[in-house]
């Protein structure tokens, strides 16, 4: 039992699910019963739908337990740790035999997430034990030149994982070619879409991989100062970044004469942002770091020419930097084995929405949407039909289920009208109203518009007004055409990526789900029965038992009827709140 290790997932998702209490319970039982095992902590392993997660590693193998609470962990400790008998009832994964969740891990290839859930992110020694900082040490000891580093990154085919998909090595080359004596390396950890969950999880679970990637970038472009721009709403990520930066300095990876190489000076500071979506755009981010309002600037000049403090600046996002140490350690050829001809490597996705296995996954570029939804995501819950995915964050596009064979790479995704974004993938089922989804996402991007461009500031507002009218049953002939016209004007006239992509949810839902718009406008019906003002609640004469539950719970007394007799809903009074539908135990309330 002395070699047994117990690891608790203490990422934000795990802590929110109660992992902190589980950790304390394990520690208390360990001390009270004088049990001989090592208690450790890690971050998110990606299986967020099973949190809290506890892993036990002993002489017989590795065992991952899911949905654990304080009571369950006592059973597990007594059965597994004390009696050396794994408790299959709570087991979600082991490499020793099949488990229901085995496909979730088997279908993944982890490069950016290689250490997440495997190490204590607050312990630099654990990062080093898995090869951490080996790439940097090799570059310094072998005196590998900046041009050799850039060539390796170019050959890997790595493209920026922040959404734009520009070749990372080419970006580094542009910054490196500038002869300025003062340059910066910036990490964008402030994407505002669901992919930001990925950034946060990487910073919480493996902050040193991001630091090492930035240090290697600094050698490549000739920078001596780095900035990580991270939203203040990520307290755990910021805490672990602080610890990682401190430990990297103490171990000679940051500061002056790094790893004994004279003249190699580089340090990193954190700039906390206010969480503005527009600051995911690199020039708006630069403005915010400089203390100005986060608003995009016209390009050219590009940041590689004139960025932070008007000096050459290289900007990549969290996932991009996390890939760099692996590429430099394993080689460009090994990395480019994964993916498609033009989209190499792997991509991290945050799965959310109407899906069984919500969480964080990393797959090779070129897998299909269908495989992500069904093999990793476990399919649609409640036996409902898969309808669409929204890919690319709030300004991404909706891809219908009949295009689920679409490969996840930059070219294929862009061809559908969606964008890769930073990795948000929201799954929708038959109960999702696509008009309401377009309204929801456009409402977000309208609020997040910095207001600099007239078409983005006013155009998104006008589009939202039309969508609201349509979902409230006041749509008019010609509204679809107006939405399309405004959308293309906004895309063509906006300065930054936020405005240029903001209409995507509307354009793609019109393209693939036009019939739903027409039903809202012409028939005043919501086919998915989501838009409240387009729903009618009626009593089914055959199933109503007259129990009076609906009448007693109706907040406006719109339901009448005697006990044990069929009830009636007065449509002139009904406010369509849905309480009767939710309270009825006999399926006697119908939606139409």
H, E, C per residue of 112-173: CCCCCCCCCCCCHHHHHHCCCCHHHHHHHHCCCCHHHHHHHHHHHCCECCCCCCCEHHHHHH
- State residue 2's pLDDT score: 54
User: Phi then psi for 92, rounded to 5 degrees?
Assistant: -110, -20
Query: CA nearest 324: which of 499, 122, 185, 439?
Result: 185
* Lookup: tokens for 334: 């090994």
- Between strands 313-317 and 184-189, the pairing is parallel
Q: How many helices (H) and strands (E) does the chain have?
A: 24, 18
- The SS3 assignment for 325 reads helix
Sequence ranges of the chain with CATH classification 3.40.50.11540: 124-335
pLDDT of residue 458: 96
Query: Could you give the percent of the chain with pLDDT greater than 70?
Result: 99
Answer yes or no: pTM beyond 0.85: yes
- Give the model's pLDDT for residue 31: 95
Please give the pLDDT value at position 219.
Answer: 97
Residues of the chain with pLDDT under 50: 1, 194-195
Write down the pLDDT at residue 197: 74
**133 to 87, 122, 213, 589: CA distances (angstroms):** 37, 15, 9, 62
CB within 8 Å of 170: residues ≥ 6 apart = 154
Question: Based on C-alpha coordinates, what's the Rg of the chain?
Answer: 27
What is the dotted CATH code of the domain comprising 434-523?
1.20.1440.230
Distance, CA of 165 to CA of 167 (rounded, Å)? 6
Domain with CATH 3.10.20.600 in the chain: 346-429
Give the pLDDT of residue 107.
Answer: 84
Residue 147 burial class via C-beta count within 10 angstroms: exposed 0-12, middle 13-18, buried 19 and up: exposed
| Spatial separation of the C-alpha atoms in residues 513 and 579, rounded to whole Å | 29
Average of per-residue pLDDT values in the chain = 94
What three-state secondary structure class fits 561? coil
CATH architecture assigned to 5-101: 3-Layer(aba) Sandwich (3.40)
Domain limits, CATH 3.40.30.10, in the chain: 5-101
Which residues in the chain are classed under CATH 3.30.70.20?
A: 536-591
Instruction: List all residues 6 or more positions away from 181 whose beta carbon is below 8 Å from its beta carbon.
Output: none
Collapsing DSSP to helix, strand or coil, 185 comes out as: strand
Predicted pLDDT at 194: 46
Rounded to the nearest 10°, the torsion over CA 327, 331, 334, 336 is 60
Q: Which CATH number fits domain 124-335: 3.40.50.11540, 3.40.50.1820, 3.90.550.10, 3.40.50.300?
A: 3.40.50.11540
pLDDT, tens digit, 9 for 90 and up, residues 194-231? 446 778 999 999 999 999 999 999 999 999 999 999 98
For 114-161, write each residue's pLDDT tens digit: 999 999 999 999 999 999 999 999 999 999 999 999 999 999 999 998
Report the Cα 549 to chain-centroid distance in Å: 41
**E strand or H helix that includes residue 351:** strand 346-353
Fold entry, domain 346-429: Ubiquitin-like (UB roll) (3.10.20)
Beta strands in 500-550 (DSSP E): 537-539
Pick the CATH number of 536-591 from 2.60.40.1180, 3.10.180.10, 3.40.50.2300, 3.30.70.20: 3.30.70.20
Report the pLDDT value the prediction gives residue 131, as an integer from 0 to 100: 97
Task: Give every CB contact of residue 12 below 8 A, 6+ residues apart in sequence.
Answer: 44, 200, 201, 204, 234, 236, 237
Residue 322 and residue 332: Cα distance in Å, rounded?
A: 15
Residues in the chain, how many?
Answer: 592
**Can you tell me whether residue 391 is helix, strand or coil?**
strand
């Amino acid at each position: 039992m002395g070699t047994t290790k117990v690891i608790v997932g203490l990422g934000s998702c795990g802590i929110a699910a109660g992992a902190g209490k589980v950790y304390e319970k394990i520690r208390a039982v360990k001390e009270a019963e004088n049990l001989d095992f090592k208690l450790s902590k890690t971050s998110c392993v990606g299986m967020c739908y099973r949190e809290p997660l506890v892993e036990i590693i002993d002489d017989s193998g590795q065992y991952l337990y899911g949905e654990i609470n304080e009571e369950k962990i006592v059973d597990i400790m007594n059965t597994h740790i004390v009696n050396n008998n794994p408790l299959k009832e709570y087991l979600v994964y082991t490499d020793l035999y099949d488990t229901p969740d085995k496909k979730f891990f088997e279908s993944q290839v982890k490069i950016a997430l290689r250490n997440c859930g495997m190490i204590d992110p607050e312990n630099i020694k654990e990062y080093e034990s898995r090869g951490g900082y080996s790439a940097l040490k090799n570059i310094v000891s072998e005196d590998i030149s900046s041009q050799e580093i850039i060539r390796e990154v170019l050959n890997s085919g790595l493209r920026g994982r922040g959404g734009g998909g520009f070749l990372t090595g080419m970006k580094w080359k542009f910054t490196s070619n500038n002869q300025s004596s003062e340059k910066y390396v910036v990490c964008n950890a402030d994407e505002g879409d669901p992919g930001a969950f990925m950034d946060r999880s990487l910073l919480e679970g493996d902050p040193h991989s991001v630091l090492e990637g930035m240090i290697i970038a600094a050698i490549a472009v000739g920078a001596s100062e780095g900035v990580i721009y991270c939203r203040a709403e990520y307290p755990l990520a910021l805490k672990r970044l602080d610890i990682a930066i401190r430990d990297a300095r103490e171990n000679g990876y940051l500061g002056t004469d790094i790893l004994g190489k004279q003249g190699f000076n580089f340090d990193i500071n954190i700039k906390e942002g206010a969480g503005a979506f527009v600051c995911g755009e690199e020039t708006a981010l630069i403005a915010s770091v400089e203390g100005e309002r986060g608003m995009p600037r016209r390009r050219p000049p590009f940041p590689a020419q004139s960025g932070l403090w008007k000096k050459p600046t290289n900007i990549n996002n969290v996932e991009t930097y996390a890939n760099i140490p692996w590429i430099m350690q394993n080689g460009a050829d090994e990395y480019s084995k994964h993916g498609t001809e033009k989209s190499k490597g792997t991509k991290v996705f945050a799965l959310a929405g109407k899906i069984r296995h919500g969480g964080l996954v990393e797959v090779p570029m070129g897998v299909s949407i269908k495989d992500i939804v069904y093999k990793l995501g476990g399919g649609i819950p409640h036996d409902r039909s898969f309808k669409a995915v929204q890919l690319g964050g709030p300004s991404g596009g909706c891809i219908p289920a009949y295009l689920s064979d679409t490969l996840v790479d930059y070219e294929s995704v862009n061809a559908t009208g969606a964008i890769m974004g930073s990795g948000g993938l929201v799954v929708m089922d038959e109960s999702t109203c696509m008009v309401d989804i377009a309204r929801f996402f456009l409402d977000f991007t309208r609020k997040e518009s910095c207001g600099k461009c007239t078409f983005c500031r006013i155009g998104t507002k006008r589009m939202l007004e039309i969508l609201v009218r349509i979902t409230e049953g006041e749509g008019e002939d010609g509204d679809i055409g107006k939405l399309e016209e405004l959308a293309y004007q906004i895309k063509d006239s906006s300065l930054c990526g936020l405005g240029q992509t903001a209409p995507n949810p509307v354009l793609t839902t019109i393209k693939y789900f036009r019939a739903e718009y027409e039903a809202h406008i012409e028939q005043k019906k919501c086919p998915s029965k989501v838009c409240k003002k387009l729903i009618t609640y009626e009593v089914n004469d055959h199933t109503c038992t007259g129990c009076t539950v609906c009448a007693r719970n109706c907040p406006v007394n719109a339901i009448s009827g005697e006990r044990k007799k069929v009830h009636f809903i007065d449509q002139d009074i009904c406010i369509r709140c849905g309480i009767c539908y939710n309270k009825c135990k006999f399926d006697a309330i119908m939606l139409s």
